[in-house]
Structure 1
């Protein structure tokens, strides 16, 4: 709460709250079904609650839970979760110029609470790092407002799903609402030819590599999109007025 208090005085914090609020229902539906899936896969209510509160990574949780239920070795479970979350390495590399001025504990908190949609909204709102301490502080306030809504929506819905797991049938398929939320934001980001190519390459690579174990198709999709776009960006003529396009 102390960390948020210093940001709530800025208009950008509430702008982040409003932006993330547009997809909060999708995030909540995703969290609800993740909570249900954890309990119905064999975890106790306490174990599921601890996993949600500590891990806070829906895709990694969904990848790990079947392995836990099947009695897979710990190293296999950790490897699967690591591979699924490798996309956050890319997110972190991009966010480094925005956050590097902060104390280490604040960088750790920011990294922990930043989710997929939080990153997407932030990258769309601030394509370049601030050039002054005040501008960087405003960007951080937006990110924290965004992350606060994402965190609350996910945690509340996930806990409800855990507690009411036996009353909510998995056949409802509410987790698909989270995917729709991602698609909606993705469509709004397709604002340049390079971004459209990036989305197309990532989608195609993910489908082609679907059979890979440990959900490594996600890593293949990210690496393919980044590699192709770097090549295209170097091949494209520079535009002095607008600068190089951002992926």
Structure 2
């Protein structure tokens, strides 16, 4: 493990995540203030800020907990909001199967959206040799590790200063800007842009639903649209392959 900290890929991972660290920190600060202002105790806020490490789920689950929503609604909302990580984990499985169970759990805990995007962009395919595996592990540790600090430390600061910093200073708006920046960086294809737009419109259209269920509706609409649009694309790609095989 120690040799990973000295590997050049460790520094590269830190350098690349540092470009978006201010946005992550702004979102983390806002989340810390929001949890404390919402009525959670100091211990609850600290535990959620450190161990949950999932901003969207934290913001979605906190008002449901305080409103006394049924536990299944809280769990279903958190699960659906972070459902994308199931796909991320399945994709990253070949990259981490050489690790022990404890290390795999730790790697999964550190995973966030931008870490996944940067890692898969850097390493399109799993390494087949020991040197390549070490490079991938070092990059992930540097990238995801700094991402964790960029989130957790500002979250703790937000919790500590929640009663000092007025919400009217625009911390919520800073968090929205951070989310918009992350969204724009991930919207790299027309399909993603369209699905994000449809999900947003669906969530706004049913905003009056209780327990923030409009979020679930938006997610369902975006996923359904992707499935419908991807199906013709797959058929279109399969047809030329069949023709080529016939020749």
Normalising by the smaller structure, the TM-score range is: 0.7 to 0.9
- Deviations, residues 143-166 of structure 1 (Å, cap 9, x unaligned): 111111110010100000001002
Q: In the alignment, what sits opposite 1:62? A: 59
Q: Does 1:186 align with 2:186?
A: yes
Structure 1 segment 95-244 matched on structure 2, within 5 A: 95-171=92-168, 172=170, 173-186=173-186, 190=188, 196-210=189-203, 211=206, 213=213, 215-216=215-216, 217-218=218-219, 220-222=221-223, 224-225=225-226, 228-229=229-230, 231-236=232-237
Tell me the distance in 2 between the aligned counterparts of 1:176 and 1:53. Answer: 21
TM (norm. structure 1) is: 0.84
- Deviations, residues 204-236 of structure 1 (Å, cap 9, x unaligned): 331243138162223543464366346424523
Q: Mind listing any 5+ residue stretches in structure 1 that lack a counterpart?
A: 191-195, 241-247
Task: Please say if residues 87 and 222 of structure 1, whose CA atoms lie closer than 8 Å, have aligned partners that are also in contact.
Answer: no
Tell me the distance in 1 between the aligned counterparts of 2:223 and 2:135. Answer: 29
Tell me the distance in 2 between the aligned counterparts of 1:178 and 1:87. Answer: 19
Inter-CA distance 84–164: structure 2 relative to 1 (3 Å threshold): same
User: How far has the Cα of 1:121 moved from its partner?
Assistant: 1.0
Q: Name the structure where helix makes up a greater proportion of residues.
A: 2
TM (norm. structure 2) is: 0.84
- Deviations, residues 108-165 of structure 1 (Å, cap 9, x unaligned): 1101111111111112222222222321221121111111111001010000000100
Runs of 4+ aligned residues of structure 1 deviating over 6 Å after TM superposition are: 237-240
Task: Please say if residues 202 and 214 of structure 2, whose CA atoms lie closer than 8 Å, have aligned partners that are also in contact.
Answer: no
User: How far has the Cα of 1:77 moved from its partner?
Assistant: 1.3
The alignment yields a C-alpha RMSD, in angstroms, of 2.3
- Per mean C-alpha deviation after superposition, the further-off stretch among 104-113 and 205-214 is 205-214
Q: In the alignment, what sits opposite 2:86? A: 89
Inter-CA distance 21–167: structure 2 relative to 1 (3 Å threshold): same
Task: Please say if residues 113 and 151 of structure 1, whose CA atoms lie closer than 8 Å, have aligned partners that are also in contact.
Answer: yes
Aligned length: 230
- Per mean C-alpha deviation after superposition, the further-off stretch among 139-148 and 15-24 is 139-148
